[in-house]
Amino acid sequence: MSDVLGLLALPTDERDHDVPASWVLRIADSMSQEPGQWSAAADGLDDGHSWPLLGFVEHASSLVARDGSLRLAEQAAFALALLQDGPLDRRDVIVVADLLPRACDRACLDFAAVVRAGCARAGERGESCRNWLLQRPVGSSLYDEVGEGRTFRYRRVPAEFDADDLLARLERHRKDR
């Protein structure tokens, strides 16, 4: 297994979503400097490496929205291309991939240009990924936007959140008034 995959080890408990920006930036730097190694390693991605790589996209998207880094946005698109045809359920990947166009919009970056540049680094795998990314995955997001400026981030909506239940409660509340 490639040494680049060793960078995916989370430095903290992933459940608290308090992943240091330095972890994200180390991975992005490695992707910039060693795209060939990352592409080669993608063929051997297992669940244990794919989930942290998807987590990189999640956290990178928050940083892109906050700081407007074109390079980091392109590396997030590259990471999504590496996950193409990997072991993760595509629906899980799409939920996180939906953050990247939102982050680009917030940072006034050209999402299509970001996707083209990031996916180009992944060769054939990137071409396939580029096509579905440019269709801008749609659906109800499982992420909220919290904070402003340097504290901005995307936060996962808790798994126990039930949208239908919330709508029913709001409707009952409206009728009670």
Boundaries of every domain in the chain = 3-176
Distance from C-alpha of 5 to C-alpha of 138, rounded to nearest angstrom:
30
> Quick check: 5 pLDDT over 60?
yes
pLDDT in tens, 123-168: 988 998 999 899 865 555 788 889 998 889 998 887 676 667 767 7
The residues, ordered by sequence, that sit 6+ positions from 75 with a Cβ below 8 Å of its Cβ are 27, 28, 31, 32, 60, 118
Number of Cβ within a 10 Å radius of residue 160: 6
Distance from C-alpha of 147 to C-alpha of 150, rounded to nearest angstrom:
8
Query: pTM surpassing 0.85?
Result: no
Distance from C-alpha of 50 to C-alpha of 57, rounded to nearest angstrom:
11
